[in-house]
Amino acid sequence: MVKQAIAWAESQRQVHLEQLKTLLSIPSVSTQVEHTSDIVRTANWLADHMRAIGLNEVSVQPTDRHPVVYGEWVQDSDAPTVLIYGHYDVQPAEPLALWDTPPFSPTVKNGNIYARGAADDKGQLFIHLKALEALFETAGRPPVNVKLLIEGEEEIGSPSLDKFVVDHQDMLSADISIISDSHILDVDKPALLYGLRGMCYMEIELQGPKQDLHSGSFGGAIHNPAQVLCQIVSALKDDQGRITIPGFYDRVLPLSDAERTALASVPFSEAQFRQEAGVRKTWGEAGYTVREQISARPTLDVNGLVSGYTGEGGKTIIPAWARAKVSMRLVADQDPEEIQQLFTQHVESLTPDTVELTLHNWGLAKPALIDRDIPEMQAAARAYERGFDAQPVFIREGGSIPVVTLLKETLGLDTILMGFGLPDDNIHGPNEKLHLENFYRGIETVIYFLDEYAQT
């Protein structure tokens, strides 16, 4: 059944491109209230399209803010079920002046389609609809059961998704989930993302004197909260780049030789990394490569500091308070709540009784590590090989995709992160694009995946 589906998809490329343009032309910006009706229009357009291609139980389900679009084909009790996740909302397009073509007038140029949402994520989620349509059109069905969960709040932090998933566990139950909302390395270098870092984001607040004091009158006998803050922050890391919070590394899974070798084989240029960052040299945890430091190892960064007088020139005060935002990227099997506790204990132990400490938490996310050897991952690898004529590499990323953890925690699902973007797609920036070759190969790769998965 695959051959005909692939051939049909190829024959329909122009049609699919026009449909994609229609989808991309609706400005479904989730954070701007003036686009609320566009959000609704996009959800309805997707639901209509899903019904048209053959999905069942299609519905636009309200949440506290933007609706979820759901659809399924679940008619083969012998076959496994795939839950496909995507999001139809997009980032704001501003600053508009930096776009070469209008963000919501999709434009094909140099083999790319330019529009806000082309890669993140409307274009990539549409790949799944087109793959399913090809299978419905040629075989009357996909080779496995499928469910689609498409939200409209990803770019604002998915405030309604947790509740929605918890409230619809039966409806969403599946054997594996698949998300296309990431990128491969290059058009002929497919990649499967199997590791994402988690997060524990803290803020340290120290209160010293009740108000800013004149350093002439008080300087010398007051413990300066900005000075204390610097002492605490500097005591969080040693000169080898290791985090000094007791117990911090206890649950970190060691990198096996095999994994280190595999990671080392992923094309990566340190010179390019330095250039993108704009630094003369890198600096990180001793004993690990840059690639490992930014994806497979936990880290700690100061994200912000503020205290006292920050304007031009000098002001001779002892600040009343000082604050530092400190976030930690976590890897499997670190537990963000435990890390928050260890961080809290350590900072408390470092804080003298001359100042008052308050800690805030600004976010926790579990790290994700998908076993590369599970059959679904292997099926995805073979699908990429067939779709892109090249074996995919396995990569880990330094960031987080919270829905991966949500699906694991609530529904027990591992997620295959099957991206079809490219690193230079400018997601969130001006002139966002999707490479059309990746769009067409993506449709084929999803068809291959469903086929490969049916055979596992």
**C-beta contacts of 58-65 below 8 A and 24+ residues apart:** 61/164, 63/153, 63/160, 63/163, 63/164, 64/159, 64/160, 64/163, 65/30, 65/152, 65/153, 65/156, 65/159, 65/160
Contact window for its own copies (CB under 8 A) among 18-26, 159-167, 290-298, 444-452: 290-298
Please name which of 19, 22, 28, 16 lies closest in space to residue 155, comparing C-alpha atoms. Answer: 28
Find the shortest distance in angstroms from Cβ 128 to its own copies. Answer: 25
Q: What are 177's strand-pairing partners?
A: 83, 415
| Residue nearer to its own copies on the CB measure, 60 or 302 | 302
- Position 280 contacts its own copies (CB under 8 A): yes
Please name which of 244, 241, 236, 248 lies closest in space to residue 335, comparing C-alpha atoms. Answer: 248
236-255 footprint of its own copies as x/- string (CB under 8 A): xx------------------
DSSP three-state, residue 394: strand
43-72 footprint of its own copies as x/- string (CB under 8 A): ------------------------------
Using CB under 8 A as the binding rule, the residues of this chain from 73 to 132 that contact its own copies are none
Using CB under 8 A as the binding rule, the residues of this chain from 416 to 445 that contact its own copies are none
Using CB under 8 A as the binding rule, the residues of this chain from 294 to 353 that contact its own copies are 294-295, 297, 299, 301-310, 313-320, 322-325, 327, 329, 352-353
Find the shortest distance in angstroms from Cβ 280 to its own copies. Answer: 7
φ/ψ bin of 69: left (φ > 0), alpha (ψ from -120 to 50), beta (otherwise): beta
- Position 366 contacts its own copies (CB under 8 A): no
Phi and psi of 47, rounded to 5°? -60, -45
- Position 204 contacts its own copies (CB under 8 A): no
| Residue nearer to its own copies on the CB measure, 10 or 301 | 301
Distance CA 392, CA 183 (A): 12
Find the shortest distance in angstroms from Cβ 108 to its own copies. Answer: 29
Distance CA 161, CA 151 (A): 8
User: Among residues 111, 267, 375, 399, which is the contact residue for its own copies, using CB under 8 A?
Assistant: 399
- Position 293 contacts its own copies (CB under 8 A): yes
Q: How many CB atoms lie within 10 A of CB 200?
A: 27
- Position 201 contacts its own copies (CB under 8 A): yes
User: Among residues 142, 208, 336, 367, which is the contact residue for its own copies, using CB under 8 A?
Assistant: 208
* Tokens (6 digits) for 78: 């012998």
- Position 211 contacts its own copies (CB under 8 A): yes
Q: How many CB atoms lie within 10 A of CB 47?
A: 20
Find the shortest distance in angstroms from Cβ 103 to its own copies. Answer: 21
Angle formed by the axes of helices 13-24 and 122-139, nearest 10°: 140
CB 226, CB 321: distance < 8 Å: no
- Position 269 contacts its own copies (CB under 8 A): no
| Residue nearer to its own copies on the CB measure, 140 or 314 | 314
Find the shortest distance in angstroms from Cβ 289 to its own copies. Answer: 9
Contact window for its own copies (CB under 8 A) among 81-89, 261-269, 285-293, 370-378: 285-293
Contact window for its own copies (CB under 8 A) among 171-179, 180-188, 204-212, 260-268: 204-212
- b/e code 109-141 from CB counts within 10 Å (16+ = b): eeebbbbbbbbbbbbbbbbbbbbbbbbbebeeb
| Residue nearer to its own copies on the CB measure, 17 or 305 | 305
Number of residues that bind its own copies (CB under 8 A): 79
